[in-house]
Structure 1
Amino acid sequence: MEHWVFHTLVIAHILAGATGAISFWVPVIGRKGGPAHRKWGQVFTLALLCTGSYAVCMSLLSLYDPMGTHPQLVGRFDEVFVRGFFGHLMLCAATLTINLAWYGWMLVRNRGNPALNRTPAMYALQVVVIATSVNCAIQGWLMDEKLLIGLAIVGLVTGATNLWFLAKDKPTREDWLKEHVKALVGAGISVYTAFMAFGSVRIFPELALHPAMWAIPLSVGMTIIIWHRLAIDRAARQRRRAGLQAA
């Protein structure tokens, strides 16, 4: 029964993830703040929330029955590896994706009143991503898999920086814009990493833990985040200069 449920979740996960991966580029490349940016940004966010939710269910099933849910890996990897990679690691990645997508969306929706972001649900999301990251780090240490520890560090930093921003008294326009970019591009990094890393296990299992499968999406995503942060700073300087000239 769980095998059938698992593969149904896989199909839904792939469809939602592909939608997110494609729609990601419209707000990234297009004009910021316009109708297309808002429309496709919402499509991306909803797709990532679905993708992460399906992944949470898949990870829990993998923890319950690792080899039953991944029969194609029998004889290639042992139960400890499958449970660690498709259970603990995927659970951490899934909660991180949900966290980033929701956090980034709420920042732009509540940009006029950042206090609206300080909800029990938002704080609970930070606690969940920190908890799954700590678990992922512990499992990585027990398995001697640095990849699990690396993702755990990303999750811990995300949860901590999100809490720091939520506690900020009077964030500026530039502050929430940078956080918005960090969160939603971070969610984009996660969906492309999932396609390259988790997806490769089904086609080329030996490439699943290859550093390139994780480094390429991270490098591209960080480049996008840095570029947009610099663009936000440039726009802020231009507005200040225009204000001084007008005065």
Structure 2
Amino acid sequence: MELLVFHTLVVAHIITGATGALAFWVPVIGRKGGVNHRKWGQVFTVALLCTGSFALALSLLSLYDPMGTHPQLVGRFDEVFVRGFFGHLMLCAATLTINLTWYGWLLVRHRGRQELNRTRAMYAWQWITIGTAINCAAQGWMMGEKLLIGLAVVGVATGLTNLHFLAKDKPTREDWLKEHVKALVGAGISVYTAFMAFGSVRVFPELALNPVMWAIPLTVGLVIIIWHRLAIERAARQRRGTVAQAA
């Protein structure tokens, strides 16, 4: 029964993750603020929140019974590796994905109205993300797996930078736009990383912890974030120039 529940969650996780991975590119490539941007952005947000929630459930089941939920890995990896990779690492990735998606969605919904962003749940998710990241780093240290520590650094950095933005009383339009891009592109990075890393362990187990499998989505995502940040700054300069001319 436990294995059936686990496999059902895996299927749901793959379906919602694939939906989010495809929807991701419409708002990234298309015209910003248009109908398609908003519509597909909503599809991406719902899909990623579901994906992260399924991943959270999968990670908890993997922590509870690592070999029972992954019988195909018996004889290939030991219980410590399976619990660390599919339990602690996935737990960190799941909370990070949920956090980034929800945070990015609320910022574009509330814009500069910080009082609406500063909820107990929002602050709680930052500390949950930081907590699961620290746990992931500790497990990686004990296992001797540097990739667990690498993801933990991303989790801690995300929680701290989100808290830093929430501390701003009057963020500018450029401030919340940059945070919106950082968060939702970051969520996109997480779903592609999951497909390449967690997915590869089922087909090509020897590639599961290959740094290349993790570096490709991260590199592409960072390029997208930097490009959009520069575009936001360029638009802001143009807007200030237009206002100055009008005055």
* C-alpha distance in 2 between matches for 1:65 and 1:111: 43
Question: Partner letter of residue 33 of structure 1?
Answer: G
**Structure 2 residue 183 is the aligned partner of structure 1 residue 183:** yes
Cα deviation, residue 219, structure 1: 0.1
Which residue does 1:53 correspond to in 2?
53
Any conservation in 1 of the 2:62–2:86 contact (CA below 8 Å)?
A: yes
Q: CA RMSD in A?
A: 0.5
Task: Spell out the pairing of 1:19-58 with structure 2 (5 A cutoff).
Answer: 19-58=19-58
Cα deviation, residue 138, structure 1: 0.5
Cα deviation, residue 2, structure 1: 1.1
Which residue does 1:94 correspond to in 2?
94
Any conservation in 1 of the 2:112–2:172 contact (CA below 8 Å)?
A: no
Cα deviation, residue 113, structure 1: 1.5
For residues 80 and 48 of structure 1, do their structure 2 counterparts lie closer, same or farther at Cα, with a shift above 3 Å needed? Answer: same
Which residue does 2:213 correspond to in 1?
213
Cα deviation, residue 115, structure 1: 1.5
Which residue does 1:77 correspond to in 2?
77
Cα deviation, residue 145, structure 1: 0.6
Counterpart of 2:152 in 1: which secondary structure? helix
Question: Partner letter of residue 108 of structure 1?
Answer: V
* C-alpha distance in 1 between matches for 2:91 and 2:143: 16
Cα deviation, residue 6, structure 1: 0.4
Task: Spell out the pairing of 1:126-137 with structure 2 (5 A cutoff).
Answer: 126-137=126-137
Which residue does 1:151 correspond to in 2?
151
* C-alpha distance in 2 between matches for 1:133 and 1:2: 27
* C-alpha distance in 1 between matches for 2:112 and 2:77: 51
Counterpart of 2:198 in 1: which secondary structure? helix
* C-alpha distance in 2 between matches for 1:45 and 1:127: 21
Counterpart of 1:77 in 2: which secondary structure? coil
Question: Partner letter of residue 123 of structure 1?
Answer: Y
Any conservation in 1 of the 2:55–2:90 contact (CA below 8 Å)?
A: yes
* C-alpha distance in 2 between matches for 1:244 and 1:168: 26
Any conservation in 1 of the 2:20–2:45 contact (CA below 8 Å)?
A: yes
Cα deviation, residue 20, structure 1: 0.2
Which residue does 2:6 correspond to in 1?
6
Which residue does 1:116 correspond to in 2?
116
Q: TM-score, normalised by structure 2?
A: 0.99
**Structure 2 residue 185 is the aligned partner of structure 1 residue 166:** no
Any conservation in 1 of the 2:62–2:69 contact (CA below 8 Å)?
A: yes
Question: Partner letter of residue 191 of structure 2?
Answer: V
Cα deviation, residue 114, structure 1: 2.1
For residues 112 and 171 of structure 1, do their structure 2 counterparts lie closer, same or farther at Cα, with a shift above 3 Å needed? Answer: closer
Matched-pair identity in %: 81
Q: TM-score, normalised by structure 1?
A: 0.99
Q: Deviations over 1:168-188 (max 9, x none)?
A: 111000000000000000000
> Runs (4+) of structure 1 moved beyond 6 Å?
none
**Count of equivalent residues:** 247
* C-alpha distance in 1 between matches for 2:2 and 2:96: 24
Cα deviation, residue 112, structure 1: 4.5
Which residue does 2:198 correspond to in 1?
198
Unaligned runs of 5+ in 1: none
Counterpart of 1:91 in 2: which secondary structure? helix
